[in-house]
């Protein structure tokens, strides 16, 4: 039996949900209903700091980041998102508070996105979907805790290797300054590390 | 000179700049010091020098573009009409031009390389910024606004001509970089072969 070719973006999302969660057929149909295609160019800010997160994103193509910006203009890249995964500033989406962070494309990107209000409505009406979203958010929280532990316990070289293990192609997908920021390394040390580790 | 629909003109410049940026991200920022400093001969530039040369133009023109965008310009969607002087400079840079000559860079555009990785990082930074500006110029009069050229404040070019020149000039040196990479690859192959065949 051959593999099913996923032509439509919604098929990609369906396959992802089926792989990571278990939903009844009717709940799956309901969950898939509010998603629409959205495309953005490189370096487009999808969610500015200080505004509400209006969407839940599902990444089809490209690389994006969630980043913090301090009052002196210094940036810290917190999370990368790329296909296939959910994206957006998830805590802001769930709490309906203004976002403390930016969500931005680093390359030309395409997504499916659903209005946060629709996701909330579906969650209220369907407890199976609500449970799925809770599991997803818990997974994301676990990822953030792993990252915090990594940042505090690992050496620069270990962090770099860990990143490459998770995302082997990332060195050729995004400018290294964002990777350096993500790893908490300055750009000069990043270049030295890159040449040391890659050999 | 025939008018070109502005949207088409800027979309073309955007795509070409995006291609150059992608090359820099996929390839140049992943090259080691040897590759970045390889030269065919003593008179020719290496990759780092080519990029440093391009950076000198960004140093001069990008702040001028930023200043234009910072002013509240009257919105204009008028077609772009190439100026004769702009066409002349663009023609000098045209990679496909069979009459293409070598030009000696003006003093302020001679490459100064202290840190090869920093040069690549800056090039990527500049192209990201340049892309944003190209997009922003959709609403600006690219015919009426003039910028003094870097090598003579007495000579002013239309903004549209400056944009066309910048992209064509970048492409000229990207073409040069491809030739350097090819020569380096041939050089490495020859060394490997001669080492393999050595008695």
Instruction: Encode pLDDT of A51-105 as tens digits.
Output: 999 999 999 999 999 999 999 999 999 999 999 999 999 999 999 999 999 999 9
* Beta strand spans in B108-178 (E): 146-149, 152-158
The model carries a pTM of 0.88
Instruction: Encode pLDDT of A165-188 as tens digits.
Output: 988 899 999 999 999 999 999 888
CB contact (8 A) between residue A42 and residue B128: yes
**Closest CA–CA distance from residue B14 to any residue of chain A (Å):** 11
Judge whether residue A143 has pLDDT over 50.
yes
Which chain A residue has its CA at the smallest distance from B118's CA? A188
CB contact (8 A) between residue B32 and residue A42: no
B32 near A CB under 8 A: yes
A196 near B CB under 8 A: no
Contact list in A for residue B21 (CB cut-off 8 A) is 42
Q: Across residues B41-49, what is the average pLDDT?
A: 92
Q: Please tell me the predicted confidence (pLDDT) of residue A4.
A: 52
Judge whether residue A14 has pLDDT over 70.
yes
Distances (CA, A) of B15 to A21, A39, A41, B20, B110: 39, 16, 11, 9, 27
B30 near A CB under 8 A: yes
Judge whether residue A198 has pLDDT over 70.
no
A102 φ, ψ (degrees, to nearest 5): -100, 145
Confidence of residue B86 (pLDDT cuts 50, 70, 90): low
A174 near B CB under 8 A: yes
Asked if A81 and A87 touch (Cβ cutoff 8 Å), the reply is yes
Provide the percentage of residues in chain A whose pLDDT is more than 70.
96
B15 near A CB under 8 A: no
Q: Please tell me the predicted confidence (pLDDT) of residue A6.
A: 56
Instruction: Encode pLDDT of A107-119 as tens digits.
Output: 999 999 999 999 9
Q: Please tell me the predicted confidence (pLDDT) of residue B129.
A: 97
Predicted complex ipTM:
0.86
Q: Across residues B126-141, what is the average pLDDT?
A: 94
- Which span out of B30-39, B91-100, B182-191 was modeled with the highest average pLDDT? B30-39
Report the top-level CATH class of B6-197: mainly alpha
Confidence of residue B171 (pLDDT cuts 50, 70, 90): very high
Instruction: Encode pLDDT of B46-79 as tens digits.
Output: 999 999 999 999 999 999 999 999 987 777 778 8
Pick from A53, A25, A59, A54: which is nearest to A128 by CA? A25
Whole-angstrom Cα distance, residue A60 to residue A65?
14
Asked if B163 and B142 touch (Cβ cutoff 8 Å), the reply is yes
* Mean pLDDT (chain A, rounded): 92
Q: Please tell me the predicted confidence (pLDDT) of residue B189.
A: 80
């Amino acid at each position: 039996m051959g593999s099913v070719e996923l032509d439509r973006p919604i098929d990609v999302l369906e396959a992802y949900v089926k792989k990571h969660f278990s939903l009844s057929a009717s709940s799956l149909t309901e969950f898939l209903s509010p998603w629409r295609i959205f495309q953005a160019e490189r370096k487009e800010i999808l969610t500015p700091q200080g505004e509400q997160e209006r969407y839940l994103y599902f990444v089809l193509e490209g690389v994006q980041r969630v980043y913090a910006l301090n009052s002196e203009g210094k940036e810290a890249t917190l999370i990368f998102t790329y296909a296939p995964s959910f994206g957006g500033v998830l805590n802001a989406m769930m709490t309906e508070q203004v976002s403390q962070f930016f969500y931005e494309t680093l390359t030309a990107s395409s997504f499916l996105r659903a209005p946060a209000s629709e996701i909330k409505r579906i969650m209220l009406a369907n407890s199976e979907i609500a449970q799925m979203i809770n599991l997803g958010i818990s997974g994301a929280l676990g990822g953030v805790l792993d990252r915090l532990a990594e940042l505090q316990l690992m050496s620069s070289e270990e962090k770099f290797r860990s990143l490459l293990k998770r995302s082997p192609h990332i060195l050729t997908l995004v400018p290294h300054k964002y990777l350096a920021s993500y790893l908490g390394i300055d750009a000069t040390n990043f270049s030295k590390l890159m040449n040391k580790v890659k050999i | 000179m025939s008018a070109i629909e502005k949207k088409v003109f800027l979309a073309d410049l955007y795509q070409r700049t995006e291609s150059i940026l992608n090359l820099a991200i996929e390839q140049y920022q992943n090259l080691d010091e040897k590759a970045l400093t390889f030269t065919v001969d003593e008179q020719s530039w290496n990759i780092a020098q080519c990029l440093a040369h391009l950076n000198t133009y960004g140093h001069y023109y990008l702040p001028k573009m930023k200043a234009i965008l910072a002013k509240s310009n009257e919105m204009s969607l008028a077609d772009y009409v190439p100026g004769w002087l702009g066409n002349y400079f663009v023609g000098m840079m045209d990679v496909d031009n069979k009459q293409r000559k070598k030009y000696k860079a003006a003093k302020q555009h001679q490459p100064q390389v202290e840190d090869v990785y920093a040069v690549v990082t800056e090039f990527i930074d500049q192209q990201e910024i340049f892309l944003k500006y190209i997009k922003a110029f959709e609403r600006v009069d690219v015919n009426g606004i003039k910028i003094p050229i870097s090598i003579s404040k007495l000579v002013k070019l239309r903004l549209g001509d400056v944009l066309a020149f910048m992209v064509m000039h970048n492409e000229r040196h990207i073409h040069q970089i491809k030739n350097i990479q090819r020569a380096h690859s041939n050089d490495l192959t020859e060394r490997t072969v001669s080492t393999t065949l050595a008695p």
